[in-house]
Structure 1
Amino acid sequence: MSKTTNTTTNIKDVIKEIKEYQAMQDELKKQINELKEEAIEWLDENELDEILTDEGKITYREVISKRFNSTAFKKDFADIYDEYTTQTSNMRFTCK
Structure 2
Amino acid sequence: MTDTLVQFLRARLVEKQDHARSMAPIVARGAGSMDVRPELAAAFAQEMVTAAEARLRLFEETIYPYLWVDGRAGRLADLQMRLMAFEYTAHQDYRPGWAPDEAAEVS
TM-score range, shorter chain: 0.3 to 0.5
TM-score of the aligned structures, taking structure 1 as reference length:
0.35
Q: Quick one: higher RCO (CA 8 Å, sep 6+), 1 or 2? A: 2
Which protein has the larger Cα radius of gyration, Structure 1 or Structure 2? 1
TM-score of the aligned structures, taking structure 2 as reference length:
0.32
Please identify which structure carries the higher helix content. Answer: 2
Please identify which structure carries the higher strand content. Answer: 1
